Structure 1
Amino acid sequence: MTVLFDTHRGLLEEALRALETRGFWTPFPEVPSGKIYGESARDEGQTAFDSSIGNPFELPEHPGANSVGAEASPWGFDLGITYPAADVSDLVAASQAAAPAWVEAGPKAWVGVCLEILTRLNRMSFQMGHAVMHTSGQAFPMAFQAGGPHAQDRGLEAVAMAWSEMVRVPETAIWEKPQGKGSPLVLEKHWQIMPRGLSLIIGCNTFPNWNSYPGLFASLATGNTLIVKPHPSAILPLALTVRVAREVLTEAGYPADTVLLAPDATGAEITQNLVRDPAVRIIDYTGSNVFGEWVRSHAGADTQVYTEETGVNSIVIAATDDFAGMCANIAFSLSLYSGQMCTAPQNIFIPRAGIDTDEGQKSFDEVAQGISAAVDALLSDPMRASGVCGTLANPATAERVANAHALGRVIRESHALDEGRSASPLILAVEAGETDAFENECFGPISFIVAVDDAKAGVAVAADLAQHKGAITAALYDTDEDRISDAAAAFARAGVNLSINLTGNIYVNQSAAFSDFHVTGANPAGNASLTDAAFVANRFRVVMWRRPRAA
């Protein structure tokens, strides 16, 4: 059935063009405006979210003799939602039973279903925004974007890349080999895309949709069945996603169990059992490198594992021709979602002798104080502070901030905000070579301003950390083109993407679908890149049948 593919063919073609040109493009507007999504969309999204509070989550005909659910909003209340829970064996059996019909459907059906799911998810972005806000602790505008349009962009990007890779091989061909004076050898050849098998998506707490959608849609678009395993603290966003997927599958005539939800409870997680199950052939994981290493070690020998893991992101400040703009940009990057983004900077390397700026020579302490003052200015209004910082998704992050003061000289003290479980950025100054505190990820609103001999030394340390500990982003401020060129080469060798002299409304934390590759797969922060061809191509295989044909 190709009805859905034909319906969304234009969307797919636009996405394919965007992948080729790498300019700005999105079909899913990021602004939560009634003029875009409908004047009633905001109220309907709020109502839909409110109606889910305290009730069982409906997933018609989904396996599950039990129920789980203990989500608590970091903004200060329990969600009280319960979800159908099944044993691993029952989930795997249901997924395997659904596989033959889904495999037989073929690439156009797979891609068409995915495009319809994404289109429907976009229409419910307000509801999804509230779901993400109250499971991950982001302020609503960010939750709307990260849980809605930006996640949908990344999902669509994966679908388009998958289609591009699947159609590289024609469905049929006539192979003709000359035989001298005799008749040529002629074969009729047919190729078929065959999915790898059952795909496991392991969601995270902070960005349940944004981090899960690439793998989820890459696997579904290449014909694999899915088991979606949310983080116990952030089930609702992925449960909504699974429900929409099952609705589309059912309406299109395919088994709903092609996509399954695998919720569990903290202390009684089923993730390890799923990872070890021999039926699982693909795993997408986002989270700590400790559990990432466990996943890689315990997955089956024939299981393809894609990971995004922890890292240490750095900024090197060598010089700037816009000191105020630089400080404001860094302040926002440190404050956004309280440093809980995988792209958030942690270390800021500054020559201990200071830097040249448009305001004259600035000492190390003057640069540090400039950044601190910019954070204070950004967060001076309580409402804006809450909107920028959001809350802390995990209570352990608050404990980490409280315990971090001894790691360096306090440049800026962290303060609780007016709403929810929160902490503003803690900024510490340290000397490179005198402590290794900054060499490991301190997840949350904790940053180190690190004194180094000079800009070259700062680049060397930051690149070395990226290469050996992992990093997803790096940033540089400099006015010397030779140093900039050397730094770009150093960070490229370390396998980390670099941003240079950001002073406006674009930040090192941000990654744009259809243009930026998120993670490179070239350092320990992850072995996959969102979204390159390698991320989708190993989720399927090409098989052939052939027979002689008369010349």
Structure 2
Amino acid sequence: PAAATWAKPTRKGEPLTLEKTFTPVGRGVSLLIACNTFPTWNGYPGLFASLVTGNPVVVKPHPAAVLPLALSVRVARDVLAEAGFDPNTVLLAAEAPEDRVAATLATDPDVRIIDFTGSTGFGDWLEQHARQAAVHTEKAGLNTVVLDSTADYKGLLRNLAFSLSLYSGQMCTTPQNLYVPREGLATDQGVKTPEVFAADLADALGKLLGDPQRAAGTLGALTGEAVRARVDKARALGGTQFGGEPLAHPEYPEAVLRTPLVAVLDADRDAETYRTEWFGPISFVIATDSTARAVELLRETIAAHGALTASVHSTDEEVLEATREAALDAGVHLAENFTGQVFVNQTAAFSDYHGSQANPAASATLSDWAFVTGRFAVLQSRRPAVATQEATGA
């Protein structure tokens, strides 16, 4: 409420009465540090949450993706001016790749809110050094899939192949670690060992990406040299591998495309590899001693390194419940038995949560109330009602 009258009864005479007013006040300057893969999708929530709570916003786009947010800032400034506000309520602060504008602004005492999407390294730095601000980060982590059993093996493969391919795995929600029991995944087409499952997944990827036009539209290009180097590093791991091969873009011959790489690892022998984030079109089929061990690894790795998504495939309700409990312990959102046209990468606005403050991969959740309410304070003023009456001549 904007105003309220408060009264406290007394033993003698009139009650003590106060007139109170309540005014929401913005926290201060908001800094939006955007990513290069989804500059608008990841940028708009913080931009509008800050504006609606009364905070000016400095938009700092990624050097590799300036145009989308530059256009957005231009439109925002035009609309603000038309509505009678100072257009400088929204500003653009572009930088060259070698600049450190983001770090400089982030530690400025006047910056009181920060929204960041990007690398774990810089996100951790912001959380540690921008102590004067409320810092909302969305980083990345070890997105995990527990594969126990399924009644729709083809649907599982199709769904997972698309999830791994979308934007060449350059999404914070792309699965990386796929746990399969050594004795195999029980399916409607028989038991599939980790090696067989990996081969079947590679075949599903081949069918999805067999048409060059569809492959280009699904994969897009690799965003930079760091991702390309990471794919090459993964290929150098050796062992049983599928994919990771160059593709030609039918419209942009200079674009760099790679098919998703799927490598088979051992849960005991290769822990150092799969407990590391491999951002890009890289995923691991990891042989575990049992489904129970896979669930425990989900809990351990996500609690330690974070994740944006987790998935489980099982026809056993006890396994589903155990995985759900592990996901709650680890602080990650869970998708169960996705075999159709809904994918773990997708987040529906105002119906799904994106990110979790409960694990290291993010310090904010889109779009819960806390994402908005921390951007303003409600301040009150109080005065005796008698003084109000006297001032008005009543």
Whether TM exceeds 0.5 here: the answer is: yes
1:549 paired with 2:380, answer no
Local SS of the residue matching 2:236 = helix
| CA distance in structure 2 between the partners assigned to 1:360 and 1:500 by the alignment | 21
Structure 2 match to 1:453: 289
Question: For residues 81-230 of structure 1, what are the structure 2 equivalents within 5 Å?
Answer: 170-230=1-61
1:530 paired with 2:366, answer yes
Tell me the TM-score normalized by structure 1.
0.68
Structure 1 match to 2:252: none
Tell me by how many angstroms 1:276 deviates.
Answer: 1.6
Conserved in 1, the CA contact under 8 Å of 2:194 and 2:285?
Answer: no
| CA distance in structure 1 between the partners assigned to 2:238 and 2:134 by the alignment | 41
1:313 paired with 2:313, answer no
Tell me by how many angstroms 1:408 deviates.
Answer: 4.5
Structure 1 match to 2:352: 516
Conserved in 1, the CA contact under 8 Å of 2:295 and 2:322?
Answer: no
CA RMSD of aligned residues (A): 1.1
The correspondence for 2:343, drawn from 507, 518, 533, is 507
Which amino acid letter does the alignment assign opposite residue 31 of structure 2?
L
Q: Which runs of 5+ in 1 are unaligned?
A: 1-169
| CA distance in structure 2 between the partners assigned to 1:257 and 1:364 by the alignment | 56
Which amino acid letter does the alignment assign opposite residue 480 of structure 1?
D
Structure 1 match to 2:196: 366
Local SS of the residue matching 1:211 = helix
| CA distance in structure 2 between the partners assigned to 1:297 and 1:266 by the alignment | 22
Q: Deviations over 1:35-63 (max 9, x none)?
A: xxxxxxxxxxxxxxxxxxxxxxxxxxxxx
Q: Deviations over 1:318-344 (max 9, x none)?
A: 000011111111111111110001000
Paired-residue identity, %? 48
Local SS of the residue matching 1:376 = helix
Cα distance, 1:408–1:186 mapped onto 2, change above 3 Å: farther
Conserved in 1, the CA contact under 8 Å of 2:35 and 2:117?
Answer: yes
1:334 paired with 2:170, answer no
Local SS of the residue matching 1:475 = strand
Structure 1 match to 2:115: 284
Structure 1 match to 2:256: 421
Structure 1 match to 2:237: 407
| CA distance in structure 1 between the partners assigned to 2:197 and 2:262 by the alignment | 12
Structure 2 match to 1:18: none
1:383 paired with 2:213, answer yes
| CA distance in structure 1 between the partners assigned to 2:140 and 2:190 by the alignment | 37
The correspondence for 2:301, drawn from 442, 456, 465, is 465
Conserved in 2, the CA contact under 8 Å of 1:333 and 1:344?
Answer: yes
Structure 2 match to 1:488: 324
Give the aligned length: 381
| CA distance in structure 2 between the partners assigned to 1:415 and 1:184 by the alignment | 81
| CA distance in structure 2 between the partners assigned to 1:366 and 1:477 by the alignment | 17
Structure 2 match to 1:139: none
| CA distance in structure 1 between the partners assigned to 2:148 and 2:207 by the alignment | 24
| CA distance in structure 2 between the partners assigned to 1:408 and 1:329 by the alignment | 26
| CA distance in structure 1 between the partners assigned to 2:114 and 2:328 by the alignment | 27
Structure 2 match to 1:103: none
Conserved in 2, the CA contact under 8 Å of 1:296 and 1:305?
Answer: yes
| CA distance in structure 1 between the partners assigned to 2:175 and 2:193 by the alignment | 21
Tell me by how many angstroms 1:361 deviates.
Answer: 2.0
Q: Kindly indicate whether structure 1 or structure 2 has the higher relative contact order, using CA contacts under 8 Å at least 6 residues apart.
A: 2
Structure 2 match to 1:344: 174
Conserved in 2, the CA contact under 8 Å of 1:408 and 1:430?
Answer: no
| CA distance in structure 1 between the partners assigned to 2:278 and 2:80 by the alignment | 42
Local SS of the residue matching 2:132 = coil
The correspondence for 2:74, drawn from 216, 227, 243, is 243
Structure 1 consecutive aligned stretches of length 4 or more whose deviation exceeds 3 Å: none
The correspondence for 2:155, drawn from 317, 325, 345, is 325
Tell me the TM-score normalized by structure 2.
0.95
| CA distance in structure 1 between the partners assigned to 2:195 and 2:245 by the alignment | 21
Tell me by how many angstroms 1:445 deviates.
Answer: 0.4
